[in-house]
Amino acid sequence: TAYAIVTTPPKGRDFGNLQVAYMAPTEILAKQHFESFIEYFSHLSINIGLITSSGCKKFPSKVNPTEPTDISRTQLLKWVKESRMAILIGTHSLIQKSVEFSDLAYVIIDEQHRFGVKQRAKLQQQSLKEESAPLPHLLSMTATPIPRTLALTLYGDLDISLIDELPPGRTYPHTELVSENDRTRIEKKIESKLQEGRQAYVVCPRIDEPDPDDENALDVKSVEAEQDRLEDVYADFTVAKLHGKMKPDKKEEIMNTFNNGKIDILVSTTVIEVGVNVPNATTMVIENAERFGLAQLHQLRGRIMRSSHTPHCFVFADSNAEKTKERMQALQEALAGTRQSGISDTGMEALKNIKMVEAARSAAKDIINNDPSLENFPVLKELLDAYKKRLHLE
């Protein structure tokens, strides 16, 4: 959808100097989008930029018009300010004060739930030179909708498109809640999948082993220890690790190697939670699942739903707490992740009082149509101005 909107100018018009900003929560995802945008837009005579904390790139290169090239941050920001960069993709680096758009017309926020309200608002307001300037169009995308999104959809002027089916040929994952007693059986299942040529993720909540002298340290699986253990269990296969402490270049190298099929098992933290796209990886083991939020678990499981092969997700949870059991059961039963967490059913039902919502929206539209400056509603104007300073009406 985002690609279609960006590449479709109004009928009878070209893009002129209009700009698009695309914000993703991680460097890995931002770089994947940069590569995808190049693939989709290489036929257009436009510049595409990438800005992250580890460096900047632009497409096309002057030397080789079919390839991207490195560019200094100063030069990239100069091009953005001069409207010479039609599309800029990045992480949180996009919302720094030094990034100044000249004609920002469209903002895309990927994995909306990973950004705070103020961060999302800041990006949309990047090009506003005066208060009367129109806000850029906004597209927020998420596979994990939050109650705020529903509230804004019902009460505000936010349209929603729900993709509630899988792409053709894909299947829902087989999710199995398992215990330590199932370990040997699960490892044999994984080995059979690896022998078929598939790949697997193993997700751990820690990077390093805890200090043995620290009595308060959590006794949970770590990436470092699990990689060592799995190298013995799967001696005939390649096991690698990935976590947030690695340098960006190293993370990119590991992901490229895994994507090319040269790594069979990737032991990782939740750094793979967002946007990682490796269709051949169809098996996932989540260790100490009680340490992750339900939204994280849905996102993690989504990594193995990228091909026509049946995905298998094995969830180990050490806690016997009733709350943990309920959350794990919700993961197993809710395929699309449509259940909300953190807000009562009563509250959600109140939001869905359609007659009240329609009456409120109708009254608001009448006021705006007849008195857009709110001159006859000074108290309402004062309240609205106050809310604008605190809220992002996205």
- For the chain, the first-to-last Cα distance in angstroms comes to 18
Taking the C-alpha atoms of residue 290 and residue 292, their distance in angstroms, rounded to an integer, is 6
The pLDDT of residue 124 is: 59
Q: Does domain 174-332 have CATH number 3.40.640.10?
A: no
Compute the average pLDDT of residues 87-97: 89
What would the two tokens of residue 106 be? Answer: 């469209």
Given a cut of 50, whether residue 343 has pLDDT beyond it is no
Compute the average pLDDT of residues 153-157: 57
Beta strands in 83-180 (DSSP E): 87-90, 104-109, 137-140, 174-178
- 8 Å CB contact between 39 and 126: no
Given a cut of 60, whether residue 267 has pLDDT beyond it is yes
Given a cut of 80, whether residue 133 has pLDDT beyond it is no
Residue 307 class from Cβ within 10 Å (0-12 exposed, 13-18 middle, 19+ buried)? middle
The pLDDT of residue 173 is: 85
57-80 pLDDT tens trace: 999 999 999 999 999 999 999 999
Locus of tokens 């030094």: 98
Query: Would 16-155 and 174-332 be classified into the same CATH topology?
Result: yes
What counts of helices (H) and strands (E) characterise the chain? 13, 13
Dihedral sign (CA 147, 148, 153, 155): positive
For the chain, what are the domain ranges? 16-155, 174-332
Given a cut of 70, whether residue 393 has pLDDT beyond it is no
The CATH number given to 16-155 is: 3.40.50.300
The pLDDT of residue 53 is: 87
- 8 Å CB contact between 107 and 21: yes
Taking the C-alpha atoms of residue 314 and residue 31, their distance in angstroms, rounded to an integer, is 29
Taking the C-alpha atoms of residue 129 and residue 248, their distance in angstroms, rounded to an integer, is 34
Report the residue count for the chain.
Answer: 394
Given a cut of 90, whether residue 200 has pLDDT beyond it is yes
Taking the C-alpha atoms of residue 159 and residue 3, their distance in angstroms, rounded to an integer, is 18
Confidence category of residue 358, pLDDT binned at 50, 70, 90: low
The pLDDT of residue 274 is: 67
pTM exceeding the 0.85 threshold for the entire prediction: no
